[in-house]
Structure 1
């Protein structure tokens, strides 16, 4: 049995929804498709698909194989591209994941020029505020904020990001300027979290009680840019990434406060699967980000490392 060919057939069957549809799209015979999947089930000693008259359903073991097979087949394509004669002309599809706000404001505006520059490349941009499983979700490159857990992935630090606390001049004139983190208890704070309720804001403070301040406000949102817009209108005090409100602070519509208590910066990393770090299309995308972010300095870091 050619395992790669069998896995490709298995993946196609799952994605098309039936053995006959897989046979038509390969193209191949229905008998050949059925034989390859049966051979896979015999090889792994488990049922992979539940066949009905109308559709296919994955077993738990089948779902595991499907995710891993997609990743393996993707890596084979990466190897083929890296060793092909046209490796200086990146081609194919690159899947990138990124936090929602950063993806919308910083990454998405760069994609039109990238696609013009590399006409043989396509981009899937997944905007999610979670750490994706890069193998199971077939992600080539992830942009992650914060400390990384130990893993088999390759990470490159790209910049340092700061969280700042700010409010509009009109709000501060009306309610006063908090001098210490504990003063926030007497203010209207704008809460960002995944679900309504309170949140914690971290500060650098010698007094241990002030390192974490529990915030509960009258206005909650699960969108940082919507909260920043509300803060500019005088709704209260907001805690956001500095790069998000840098222009508003320069324009005077927001004022940065509690600067003496700002916590240390948080690292921004580019994360790769080791097998895809040298991929021409991954390299092209990373080099493009480095070039654009060095020129525009979107995070105010003034030092983007060469990767």
Structure 2
């Protein structure tokens, strides 16, 4: 059995919704399509598809195999492109994931020049505030904030991000300025999260150690933009990236607090699977983003401390 050919047939059957449709689109015979899928099921010792007269349904194992097969076939296509004569002309579609606020304000404005520079490339930018599964979701590149736990990924560091705590001058005049992180227990905290619950903010306890403080938030949102707006309106204290609210601090709309307890900056990385390294389109996007970051680091500004 040619496993790559069988994988491609299986993926086509799932995406077209039937064996006969897969046979027509390949093109191939219905008998050949059915035989290849049966051979896969025999090889792996599990049922991958539930066949009915009208449609196909994936089993749990079939769903896992479908996602992995799609990824493997994509990598094979990239290797073929890398070894082809026109490897200096990146082409195809590249899928990139990024935190939503950063993607909207920082990454999206850079894509116009990238697309003009590489006219044969297309970009899917997925804005999500979670760590994506790069294999299952077929993501070529991901921009991640924080220390990396997956050692199997290749990483290029882009910048350091500083998280700061701030509040509106009116709120601080009314409630007082917290002098230590523990003082936040007596303040209204605005928390970035998908759902209410317990939250922790990290602060520097000493030159070598950080400490997490449990926060009891009165207002929870899954949008950093909305949280900053609420903070400017006097709703409470908020912890946000410094680059996001630099202009508001300089304009006096927000005041930076607990500066002496700010933790060390958090690294920002561009990560990708080692197998993607040979892909011309991956190299093109990585090199472009690193180039633009070095030229105009959007996170270089450090908001002033209001007196």
TM-score (norm 1): 0.91
Task: Quote the offset at 1:301 in angstroms.
Answer: 7.3
Task: Map residues 202-213 of structure 1 onto 2, 5 A cutoff.
Answer: 202-206=202-206, 211-213=211-213
Distance in 2 (CA, whole Å) between partners of 1:58 and 1:141 is 27
Distance in 1 (CA, whole Å) between partners of 2:65 and 2:182 is 52
Deviates more, 1:103-112 or 1:220-229: 103-112
Any conservation in 1 of the 2:243–2:301 contact (CA below 8 Å)?
Answer: no
Partner of 1:176: 176
Report how many aligned residue pairs link the two structures: 300
Partner of 2:259: 259
Tell me the SS of whatever aligns to 1:108.
Answer: helix
Task: Quote the offset at 1:241 in angstroms.
Answer: 0.9
Deviates more, 1:12-21 or 1:61-70: 61-70
Any conservation in 1 of the 2:94–2:123 contact (CA below 8 Å)?
Answer: yes
Partner of 2:41: 41
Task: Map residues 4-19 of structure 1 onto 2, 5 A cutoff.
Answer: 4-19=4-19
Deviation >4 Å, runs of 4+ = none
Any conservation in 2 of the 1:159–1:301 contact (CA below 8 Å)?
Answer: no
Any conservation in 1 of the 2:79–2:278 contact (CA below 8 Å)?
Answer: no
Task: Quote the offset at 1:32 in angstroms.
Answer: 2.1
Distance in 1 (CA, whole Å) between partners of 2:64 and 2:36 is 18
Deviations 1:253-286 (A, max 9, x none): 2121110000111111111110112311011111
Task: Quote the offset at 1:194 in angstroms.
Answer: 2.2
Distance in 1 (CA, whole Å) between partners of 2:72 and 2:252 is 52
Task: Quote the offset at 1:206 in angstroms.
Answer: 4.5
Q: Which blocks of at least 5 consecutive residues in structure 1 are unaligned?
A: 303-307
Say what the alpha-carbon RMSD is for the aligned residues. Answer: 2.0
Q: Name the CA shift for 1:301/1:250 in 2 (closer, same or farther; >3 Å).
A: closer
Deviations 1:230-268 (A, max 9, x none): 111222111001121122222222121110000111111
Q: Which blocks of at least 5 consecutive residues in structure 2 are unaligned?
A: 303-307
Deviations 1:97-154 (A, max 9, x none): 1122222222222223322221211112222222222122211111111111143221
Distance in 1 (CA, whole Å) between partners of 2:176 and 2:154 is 47
Partner of 1:239: 239
Task: Map residues 48-197 of structure 1 onto 2, 5 A cutoff.
Answer: 48-197=48-197
Tell me the SS of whatever aligns to 1:164.
Answer: strand
